[in-house]
Amino acid sequence: MSRIEDALRKALRREEPPEGFAERVMARIQSRDREAAGVREAIGPWGGLLAAFREPHLRWAAVCAAAALLVGGLEYRSQRLERAEGERASRQVMLALRITGSKLRLAQDHVRRIDYAPVERKERL
Amino acid sequence: MRIAIVFLAATLSGAWAQDTKMPVPLEKLALDKLAEKAVESVDVTLDGNLLQLAGKFLSEKDADQAKAKKLIAGLKSIMVRSFTFAKDGEYNLGDYPDLRDHVQLPAGWSHIVGVTSKRGGDNVDVYLKTGDGSQIGGLVVIAAEPKELTIVHITGTIRPEDLADLGGQFGIPKLDVPRKNSEQKKGKE
């Protein structure tokens, strides 16, 4: 029992750190901070954002969002084009029907004039 | 089988071409030259797809647009060329009889109105294509006035009452086209 106690006491005894241990630890911490700052400066703010996409699930989410934006944008553009084309076509339809109507009216006026002319002459007589 | 499909396609496209074929020889009119001389020119060409699309954008609330929407529902194409000139005689109105002589009417077309002025007035010709039953299958109007030349070619189904609307709506007075008996009865009631 005393042998075990002796072994434990020997293992857990207080030991002084070697010379300059605290200085070396502090120096290493400072050097790591400097390295991290250097990397942050090199990649800039966007680099930091991009670094976030190293995560696979974030990367896939970004790809899906970009695809949805692209599809939505194309759909919106196509709808706008269709709307513009439809509105132009409807204006052309109205113009074409107005012209057609006016020319049919012109033909009708001439036919009426021919139809009513003998009647008017008879009435005068 | 393939030969049958090709033959059927060729027959159908031939029938469509015949249906939409312009009976007026536009190439003889030298329209590009007329457009250069004209102070105002209108060139409207709408095929079936564009007419369908236009129908979606015609409002039911506006009376004219609602009529137009109903009218174009059965149409296959609309072609309108119209030229307005600043002065009389800027285009050769004297060529009009020649143009009319060149009108090649495919089967089913009838010349229903022909107005010729020998004193340099208006010349108007209206051609109709008979369609199914009492319906009209197409309409061609050629109007040559001293300062204006207009050619209209409409293909597709036009009901006689739509033709009356065409003359009566769109800001101009109504054409006297007799309505169907059933509609006349409704009107009396």
Are the beta carbons of B110 and B128 closer than 8 angstroms? yes
Encoding tokens for residue A59?
């990367």
Contact A87 B57 (CB under 8 A): yes
What is residue A112's predicted lDDT score, i.e. its pLDDT? 78
Are the beta carbons of B143 and B124 closer than 8 angstroms? yes
Within 10 Å of residue A11's Cβ, how many Cβ atoms? 7
Give the residue from A102, A110, A112, A103 showing the smallest Cα distance to B171. Answer: A102
What is residue B147's predicted lDDT score, i.e. its pLDDT? 87
Interface residue A39 vs chain B (CB under 8 A)? no
Residue B8 has pLDDT above 50, yes or no: no
What is residue B50's predicted lDDT score, i.e. its pLDDT? 93
Residues B17-25 have a mean pLDDT of 60
- In tens digits, chain A (125 residues) has pLDDT values of 678 888 888 888 888 888 888 899 999 999 988 888 877 777 676 776 677 777 788 888 889 999 999 999 999 999 999 999 999 999 999 999 989 988 888 888 888 777 665 555 555 44
Domain boundaries, chain B: 39-47+74-167
Residue of B152, B154, B169 to mutate, interface with A, max A Cβ within 10 Å: B152
ipTM of predicted complex: 0.75
Length of chain A: 125
Q: For residue range B40-81, what is the model confidence (pLDDT) as tens digits?
A: 999 999 999 999 999 999 988 888 888 889 889 989 999 999
Q: What is the mean pLDDT of chain B?
A: 75
Q: For residue range B74-110, what is the model confidence (pLDDT) as tens digits?
A: 899 999 999 998 887 777 766 666 667 777 777 788 8
Residue of A81, A85, A106, A115 to mutate, interface with B, max B Cβ within 10 Å: A106
Interface of B with A in 45-84 (CB under 8 A): 46, 50-51, 53-58, 64-65, 68, 71-72, 78, 80, 82
Contact B57 A103 (CB under 8 A): no
Q: For residue range B138-173, what is the model confidence (pLDDT) as tens digits?
A: 888 988 888 888 999 999 988 777 776 665 544 444
Interface residue A80 vs chain B (CB under 8 A)? no
Residue burial B120-154, b: 16+ Cβ < 10 Å; e: rest: eebbbbbbbbebeeeebbbbbbbbbbbbbbbbbbb
Residues B16-38 have a mean pLDDT of 68
Contact B141 A104 (CB under 8 A): yes
What is residue A125's predicted lDDT score, i.e. its pLDDT? 46
Residue B18 has pLDDT above 70, yes or no: no
Q: Where are the alpha helices (DSSP H) in B43-116?
A: 48-56, 63-72, 96-102
Encoding tokens for residue A55?
């995560």
Q: How far apart are the first and last CA of chain B?
A: 58
Handedness of CA B23, B29, B35, B38 (dihedral sign): negative
Interface residue B122 vs chain A (CB under 8 A)? yes
CA distance B5 to chain A (A): 33
Handedness of CA B25, B101, B128, B7 (dihedral sign): negative
Q: pTM to 2 decimals? A: 0.65
